[in-house]
């Protein structure tokens, strides 16, 4: 599996627009990458978006090795992973993004499956 090092600006914009659209509920989706760059979101059927949680049935993922992690929003001002986030990260994917208020180009952070922060370059 190729290491993910970047995210397209258009994917980041889509993430924050989806988070704004679902606010105050959490937005949750999978991330798809090509050649180490996150390019788009995969919204799974049956995903639950709650006020303080999101539930994704990973059994609904397509058999597609370009799906490399997840994105979800926090309805507050913290993009730090909760204990539940950390547990989920450890079971699925290699890159996880959390965005928070104000849902803009500076309000997101990426984490690996151990919950450690990783840097992703924003590219066109």
We report the CATH number of the domain holding residue 26 as 3.40.140.10
Q: Is residue 76 part of a domain?
A: yes
Domain boundaries, position 111? 1-32+67-124
Q: Which pLDDT score, from 0 to 100, does residue 60 have? A: 64
**Long-range contacts, 38-43 (Cβ 8 Å, 24+):** 38/4, 38/6, 38/7, 38/8, 38/11, 38/68, 38/95, 38/97, 38/120, 39/8, 39/11, 40/11, 40/14, 41/11, 41/14, 41/15, 41/71, 42/67
Structural domain tally of the chain?
1
Pick the catalytic residue: 17, 21, 26, 119? 26
List per-block mean pLDDT (blocks of 10 residues) for the chain, which spans 124 residues.
88 96 93 96 75 68 83 95 92 92 97 96 96
Q: Is residue 8 part of a domain?
A: yes
Q: Which pLDDT score, from 0 to 100, does residue 65 have? A: 79
Q: Is residue 51 part of a domain?
A: no
pTM over 0.85: yes
Q: Is residue 49 part of a domain?
A: no
Q: Which pLDDT score, from 0 to 100, does residue 48 have? A: 64
Reply yes or no on whether 26 is catalytic: yes
Q: Which pLDDT score, from 0 to 100, does residue 63 have? A: 74
């Amino acid at each position: 599996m190729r290491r993910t090092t970047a995210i397209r600006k258009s994917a980041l914009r889509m993430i924050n627009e989806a988070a704004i659209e679902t606010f105050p509920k959490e937005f949750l989706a999978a991330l798809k990458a090509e050649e180490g760059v996150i390019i788009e979101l995969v919204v799974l059927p049956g995903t639950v978006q709650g006020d303080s949680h999101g539930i994704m049935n990973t059994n609904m993922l397509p058999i597609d090795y370009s799906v490399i992690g997840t994105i979800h929003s926090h309805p507050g001002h913290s993009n730090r992973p909760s204990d539940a986030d950390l547990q989920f990260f450890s079971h699925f994917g290699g890159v996880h993004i959390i965005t928070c208020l104000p849902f803009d180009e500076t309000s997101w952070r990426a984490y690996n499956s151990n919950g450690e922060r990783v840097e992703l370059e924003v590219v066109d």
